[in-house]
Amino acid sequence: MSHTFKLSILAAAVMAVAPAAQAFEAGDFILRAGAVHVAPDDSSDQITVPGVGPFPTANSRVGVDDNTQLGLRATYMFTSNIGIGVLGATPFKHNITGAGDISSDAKLGETKHLPPTLTLQYFPMHSSSAFQPYAGIGVNYTTFFEEKTSGTLTSVIDSALGGDGTGSVAGSTELELDDSVGVALELGMDYMLSENFGLNAAIWWADINTDAKVKVFDPAGSYLAETNEFDVEIDPMVYMVGFSYKF
């Protein structure tokens, strides 16, 4: 048997078993890791202080900037076409900026959040395909923590309350953000390079809204006032590229 003929038989055998080795099947776990970028499509209600009105103008609003973190995801396959997926990440950190009549360059505060997301995923391709696109729908729960205001925001509120902008009336401020529960939609794909290892890319849209409030304290630390509760819609597009590992 010639060397060339032996190589041809070996290549044919590899081609024959490769699709089965790349399959997504019932009982498989797929772990994914990579960079996750959150790009908010943000808007907010007008901010007002009871008894004072809007500050510093009638169109005072806030925005939320982008952030990138390490994303970790897992899917359990119930069948070769249906799976349940979980999205997690290291905490995202966002600057809260001005919007409306407040300059977008003005940093008003910051917060961190974790956005665990659960989706039911559908994989339309045959289980033997190396290319596995999928779509998912589910629920997102976002919890906010380590909320902080900036000196810029405190100065603006101090001036709105009749101070000189240096904390003579409003000595400090605190930001409160409620947690959010909303719908999440997902599109993604895996391309398996071997039996266990592959590439992944995915995109989500999540309905994330939070009720925000800023509390104001005088220079001695005593409660002075607070803003009306105002709605902040974050509604981000979330993008991830990374690697997949099946076992």
Single-letter residue type at 82: I
Q: Tell me the average pLDDT across 68-83.
A: 95
The owner of tokens 């900037």 is: 65
Q: pTM for the full model?
A: 0.82
The domain of 14 spans 3-246
Looking at the chain, the whole-number percentage of residues with pLDDT higher than 70 is: 88
- Of residues 228 and 201, more confidence is placed in 201
Structural domains counted in the chain: 1
Half-sphere exposure of 90 (CA within 13 A, CB side): 10
pLDDT at 152: 87
**In this predicted model, what pLDDT tens digit does every residue of 134-174 receive, in sequence order?**
999 999 999 999 999 998 888 888 887 888 878 888 889 99
Dist. CA 29–CA 68, nearest whole Å: 25
41 pLDDT tier (thresholds 50, 70, 90): very high
- CATH code (residue 83): 2.40.160.20
CB 39 within 8 A of CB 66: yes
